[in-house]
Amino acid sequence: MAKTRPGVPSKIKTGRKELDSYTIKGTNKLVRAGDCVLMRPSDAGKPPYVARVEKIEADARNNVKVHCRWYYRPEESLGGRRQFHGAKELFLSDHFDVQSAHTIEGKCIVHTFKNYTRLENVGAEDYYCRFEYKAATGAFTPDRVAVYCKCEMPYNPDDLMVQCEGCKDWYHPACVGMTIEEAKKLDHFVCAECSSDDDVKKSQNGFAASPADDVKVRVSLFCKCMCKIVQKLEADINNGIVVFRWKRSAEKDNLEGFLMGTSHRGAGKLVITWKLFGGD
């Protein structure tokens, strides 16, 4: 099979009948609307396509068709695969299609990013999605992502990171001069900047950080195709409200803005959801 071009509607035939489920050829696996499936690509050397089934139909001659919504792999996106994209990363696209059910090879699970990072073992059928993707423009939603480490990159769940007990930022071992083996053996880690800072001692002495504590976060605003960071923001999280101040890079004027949302730590990671108010 081949993906049709985005925005080209498939031909609609009459005499169709909606089906509750479809059994994948040669298996006893049932596919229903809402399930995620792997589909045979047109190029046998490529990994399978991933889609979410929206509707299953049989036509007058009993050919089964699935209405699906494509997930794109990073390499299929206009911006291409980036360093922070994980091997199992998918983008939920706005590209809908109709395909023959025969192209379905198996089922898979597309987790939320948070749930995926909490999996004890990642199976072949496990994927995750943290961005929606507009196939025609190459734009992602959300277009703001939390960044970590000296290299200021979004989190790639395939890469080991260590958390500094002082600033709570996460670091790639290589970025702080460690091997992965050394990082795995660490019980405690304090980054170089925090090692020379007295405030760390306070937080190590029983002032355990909780999500309600003030936490500094850095957020990068990416351009729509995520090829570059257009603005770096620093923010304080105070009781779940993120307040930040930023400088417009192109102009000299200082802007004050509010980034409001909630924050919580899941599996040792800081997750921020927010809405932008003020500024632009």
The residues of the shown chain that bind Zn ion, judged by CB under 5 A, are 149, 151, 164, 166-167, 172, 175, 191, 194
- What is the token pair recorded at 43? 């190029």
Which residues does residue 262 pair with via DSSP β-bridges, in sequence order? 273
Q: Is the peptide bond before 142 cis (omega within 30 degrees of 0)?
A: yes
CB of 61 to Zn ion, least distance (A): 56
CB atoms within 10 A of CB 145: 20
**Given the complex with Zn ion, which of 133 and 189 has the nearer CB atom?**
189
Q: How far is the CB of 108 from Zn ion (least distance, A)?
A: 30
User: What is the rounded distance in angstroms from the CA atom of residue 137 to the CA atom of residue 77?
Assistant: 10
Q: Residues 81, 89: contact at Cβ < 8 Å?
A: no
Give the shortest CB-73-to-Zn ion separation in angstroms. 24
Task: Yes or no: say if 30 and 55 are a contact pair by the CB < 8 Å rule.
Answer: no
Task: Please state the closest distance from residue 155 (CB atom) to Zn ion, in A.
Answer: 10
Amino acid identity, position 197: D
Of residues 149 and 242, the one with the C-beta less far from Zn ion: 149
How many whole angstroms separate alpha carbon 51 and alpha carbon 272?
Answer: 27
Nearer to Zn ion, 119 or 175 (CB): 175
At its nearest, how many Å lie between Zn ion and the CB of residue 243?
A: 21
How far apart CA 24 and CA 51 sit, in angstroms, is: 14
Distance CA 235, CA 246 (A): 9
Nearer to Zn ion, 35 or 169 (CB): 169
Q: How far is the CB of 71 from Zn ion (least distance, A)?
A: 27
Which residues, in sequence order, are bridge partners of residue 270? 265
Nearer to Zn ion, 135 or 194 (CB): 194
- In angstroms, the CA 91 to CA 72 distance is 5
Q: For Zn ion, which is the closer residue by CB, 191 or 237?
A: 191
Cβ-based nearer residue to Zn ion, 51 or 161: 161
Cα atoms found within 13 Å of the Cα of residue 50, Cβ hemisphere only? 24
Would you say 260 and 279 are in contact if contact means Cβ atoms under 8 Å apart?
no
Provide, rounded to whole angstroms, the least separation between the CB of residue 211 and Zn ion. Answer: 18
Buried b (16+ CB within 10 A) or exposed e, 62-89: eebbbbbebbbbbebbbbeeeebbbebb
Minimal distance in Å, beta carbon 194 to Zn ion? Answer: 3
| Residue whose CB is less far from Zn ion, 139 or 167 | 167
